[in-house]
Amino acid sequence: MRKFFFILLLIPLLSISQTKNVINSFRVFPKPDKIAEFEKGMAAHAQKYHTGNWKWRVYEIQSGPDANGFHVIEGPLSWDEFDKRGDLSAEHQADWNKNVAPYITSQGTSSYNEFDTALSNVAMTDYADKIIINHIHPKPGMLTALNDLVKRMKKVWQASNESVAVYHTVYSGAPQISQVTRLKAGLKELDASYRKSFPERYNEVYGEGAWTHYLEDYAKIVESRWSELLFVRNDLGSK
């Protein structure tokens, strides 16, 4: 009986101690002739209705299939905090419908993602203003193998001081790992003179010829991959 009551006392503590490793993100695409109106409404909405736990971090997508769209992130929070958020207020929704929605062509993907500390070599909130997102989709049954593949890459990132955060897309469509390269030094990190190519660095860490074996495993594990470049827009996010 004592053990039972002790467990009951622990339940609130377990709830409080949930890990804040979850982000929610969505994408919007402004009408080409209404960008100024969209940005004005977006900034005002974020700064009035998205404060505290629900702050927005907004990126403008520079390349890839979603170029010219905006990537909006809430979190990191725990699942319990997302659960207890409740419905958005009528005032909040009315403001969005009046001052933002009329100026967008569509709302794109919306997803939940969990930060993976074991696969990342940078703290979750150690952000950068310019990032590259690599979206990696495993073949059926190969998600665990993809995790192992990324774990190998982590040693290379660490050895060459490359900041990469890794997220798992959860309950939001097909399995996916997102590798977010945080360009701490800006776009100059993309120049060939800044650091050696990844295959060279991989061979330095794992031995000559290791990159060839990596590619063989990659072909067995990965279904598809695509990447995009994003720049932060602090003027559109929460203050």
Domain residue ranges in the chain: 15-114, 117-231
* 145 burial type by CB count under 10 A (0-12 exposed, 13-18 middle, 19+ buried): middle
CATH number of the structural domain 117-231: 3.30.70.100
> Tell me, what's the pLDDT at 7?
47
Task: Count the neighbouring beta carbons within 10 Å of the beta carbon of residue 24.
Answer: 18
Element (H, E) at 221: helix 210-221
User: Phi, psi at residue 134, to the nearest 5°?
Assistant: -100, 115
> Tell me, what's the pLDDT at 16?
54
Helix, strand counts (H, E) of the chain: 7, 8
> Tell me, what's the pLDDT at 107?
75
Contacts 24+ apart (CB under 8 A), 138-145: 138/175, 138/177, 138/221, 138/222, 138/223, 139/220, 139/221, 139/222, 139/223, 142/220, 142/221, 142/222, 142/223, 143/175, 145/217, 145/220, 145/221
Three-state SS at 199 = helix
pTM over 0.85: yes
24-83 pLDDT per residue, tens = 999 999 999 999 999 999 999 999 999 999 999 999 999 999 999 999 999 999 999 999
User: Phi, psi at residue 224, to the nearest 5°?
Assistant: -160, 160
> Tell me, what's the pLDDT at 89?
87
Q: Which residues of the chain have pLDDT under 50?
A: 4-9, 13-15
> What CATH architecture does domain 15-114 belong to?
2-Layer Sandwich (3.30)
> Tell me, what's the pLDDT at 6?
45
> Tell me, what's the pLDDT at 239?
86
Partners of 29 in the β-ladder: 106
Element (H, E) at 223: strand 222-232
Burial 70-82 (b: 16+ CB within 10 A, else e): bbbbbbbbbeeeb
How far out from the chain centre does Cα 97 lie? 26
Q: Do domains 15-114 and 117-231 have the same CATH topology?
A: yes
Q: How far apart are CA 83 and CA 98, in angstroms?
A: 27
